[in-house]
Amino acid sequence: MAGSNKRIAKGQELADITTNPPEGTKVKLADESNIFIWEVLLDGPEESVYAGGHFKLKLVLPTNYPFKPPVLSFETRIYHPNVTNDDKGSMCLGILRSDEWKPPNQIRAVLKMVRDILVTPDIDNAVEGAIAELYKSNRKWYDKQAKEWVAKYAGKK
């Protein structure tokens, strides 16, 4: 997979995304020697209940990226129907699913999608059924809960 590694190694995506990051995100390598693990700092979108929160995400690129999708997980805990409500904080959604992933997709698109998801959770593909249920039945309670979590976990920079 020399070609794919070159895509990362030559830093096309990384350079592009660090110099010109999508709105509200910061990307860097978690470890300078390992180009496969990226650290993403995501600001909660203003129009969402996560506004003001700073979320740390870990993006792991498979060795045969871009033929396989990257794996994205919230290191900061977040109250969201599409993110597992544990310390893994993994999410599997949309283009991140291996049957949906296409090599032309780029990390930029992934981050954009994550922000969209924070604004509008994808209830139909929820991994946390309870949260999804709450989102549907009692939106206010859900909002309150999410904001509490933001304050609790994602407040500090």
Annotated catalytic sites, by residue? 92
Distances (CA, A) of 113 to 95, 118, 138: 8, 9, 25
**Helices and strands counted in the chain (H then E):** 5, 5
Q: Identify the residue among 32, 33, 86, 104 touching other proteins (CB under 8 A).
A: 104
Is position 105 an interface residue for other proteins (rule: CB under 8 A)?
yes
Is position 20 an interface residue for other proteins (rule: CB under 8 A)?
no
Binding segment toward other proteins, per CB under 8 A, in 44-52, 81-89, 95-103, 123-131: 95-103
Q: Least distance from C-beta 91 to other proteins, angstroms?
A: 17
* 153 CB neighbour count, 10 Å cutoff: 18
Instruction: Describe the chain by its helix, strand, coil percentages, rounded to 5.
Output: 40, 20, 45
Contact residues toward other proteins (CB under 8 A) are 1-4, 6-7, 10, 12-13, 66-67, 95, 102-106, 108-109, 112
